[in-house]
């Protein structure tokens, strides 16, 4: 990918954002990801699986021969339907579970629905997330902002994971989604960065707790990745330079993040990997 290919015209949406209006269209690996059966027979639940990184992971998992359930907000149904189509083109089953994970009952029911429809659960990807970067100061963060960010990014992770542990067994894998913001926080993303730092700690602690049960827990920390979250939550003027501050000089595409999830999910590649945060950041350090 050349630097000129990665310039984004100024654009803006309202959250949660959809894929279709984005220019250029994100690459989720639709034409590039080639599977090799690494997840054959597995059943995966991906929160926020309708678009962005979640869609790329769903496509990759399906092409690795896993069945997939994706949780999405009802207003994101057009994206969810498209993701399901790509999963089904790979010959795998896709269960669509609309839910607002900020509600504990909905979050727990989403897991139960996914496990019932899939006939079990082997892999959990806690990907759903929210940020709001259109502010200038900590003083601009309202309690409503905190509730939306912490409940989406952190509370939901606890509720979903607690419920999933009723179904996961030895050989299962939990993959959380952290962020470069946990290591290099932007001033406008104070609340978001706080949740991602917490997710790193959850990952390490839970990996220690579940190791004796044979359940591995890891996280992926993406850098700036071109997903609907960006035009839906960033100031319009920042979109055009999105990702230009990385050592690689550009934003990443969801397709460039998905293989990290496959690596961590598969016993054949990561059977001795747990409690780890894997950075996919365009060269930004995660330490």
pTM of the model: 0.93
Q: What is the pLDDT of residues 192-251, one digit of tens each?
A: 999 999 999 999 999 999 999 999 999 999 999 988 877 766 777 777 788 889 999 999
Is residue 174 assigned to a domain?
yes
The mean pLDDT value for 40-47 works out to 98
pLDDT at residue 132 tops 90: no
In a domain, 237, yes or no: yes
Residue 10, domain member (yes or no):
yes
Phi-psi region of 283 (alpha: psi -120 to 50; beta: other; left: phi over 0): left
| Residues, the chain | 287
Measured distance between the N- and C-terminal CA atoms of the chain, rounded to whole angstroms: 27
**At 49, phi and psi to the nearest 5?**
-85, 5
CATH number of residue 117's parent domain: 3.40.50.720
Tell me whether the omega of the peptide bond preceding residue 16 falls within 30 degrees of 0, making it cis: yes
**Total count of domains within the chain:** 1
Q: Is residue 32, in this structure, part of any structural domain at all?
A: no
Chain segment 70-123, per-residue pLDDT in tens = 999 999 999 999 999 999 999 999 999 999 999 999 999 999 999 999 999 999
Please give the share of the chain, as a percent, with pLDDT higher than 70: 96
The reported pLDDT for the residue numbered 21 is: 80
pLDDT value of residue 16 = 79
**What number of other Cβ atoms are within 10 A of residue 63's Cβ?**
24
Domain assignment present for 233? yes
Active site residue 192: yes
Start-end of H helices in 90-228? 104-118, 143-150, 156-164, 190-210
Owning domain of residue 68: 3-25+39-278
Let me know if residue 136 belongs to a domain.
Answer: yes
pLDDT of residue 270 exceeding 90: yes
Given this model, what pLDDT does residue 171 score? Answer: 97
Burial class (CB in 10 A: 0-12, 13-18, 19+), 266: buried
Catalytic residue, chosen from 33, 155, 183, 192, is 192
Residue 284 in any domain: the answer is: no
In a domain, 283, yes or no: no
In which band, very low, low, confident or very high, does the pLDDT at 134 lie, cut at 50, 70 and 90?
low
């Amino acid at each position: 990918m050349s630097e000129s290919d990665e310039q984004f015209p100024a654009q803006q949406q309202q959250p949660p954002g959809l894929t279709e209006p984005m220019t250029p269209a994100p690459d989720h690996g639709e034409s590039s990801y080639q599977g090799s059966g690494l997840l054959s027979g597995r059943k995966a639940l991906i929160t926020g699986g309708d678009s962005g990184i979640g869609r790329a992971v769903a496509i990759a998992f399906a092409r690795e021969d896993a069945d997939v359930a994706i949780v999405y907000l009802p207003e994101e149904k057009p994206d969810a339907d498209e993701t399901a189509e790509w999963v089904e083109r790979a010959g795998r089953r896709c269960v669509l579970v609309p839910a607002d994970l900020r509600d504990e009952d909905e979050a727990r029911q989403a897991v139960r629905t996914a496990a019932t429809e899939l006939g079990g659960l082997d892999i959990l990807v806690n990907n759903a997330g929210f940020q709001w970067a259109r502010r200038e100061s900590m003083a601009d963060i309202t309690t409503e902002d905190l509730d939306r960010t912490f409940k989406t990014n952190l509370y939901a992770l606890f509720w979903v994971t607690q419920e999933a542990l009723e179904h996961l067994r030895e050989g299962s894998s939990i993959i959380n989604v952290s962020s470069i913001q946990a290591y290099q926080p932007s001033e406008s993303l104070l609340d978001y960065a706080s949740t991602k730092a917490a997710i790193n700690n959850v990952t390490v602690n839970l990996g220690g707790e579940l190791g004796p049960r044979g359940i591995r827990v890891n996280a992926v920390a993406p850098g700036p990745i071109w997903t609907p979250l960006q035009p839906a939550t960033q100031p319009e003027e920042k979109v055009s330079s999105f990702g230009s501050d990385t050592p690689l000089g550009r934003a990443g595409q969801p397709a460039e993040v998905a293989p990290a999830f496959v690596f961590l999910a598969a016993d054949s590649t990561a059977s001795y990997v747990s409690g780890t945060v894997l950075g996919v950041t365009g060269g930004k350090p995660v330490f």
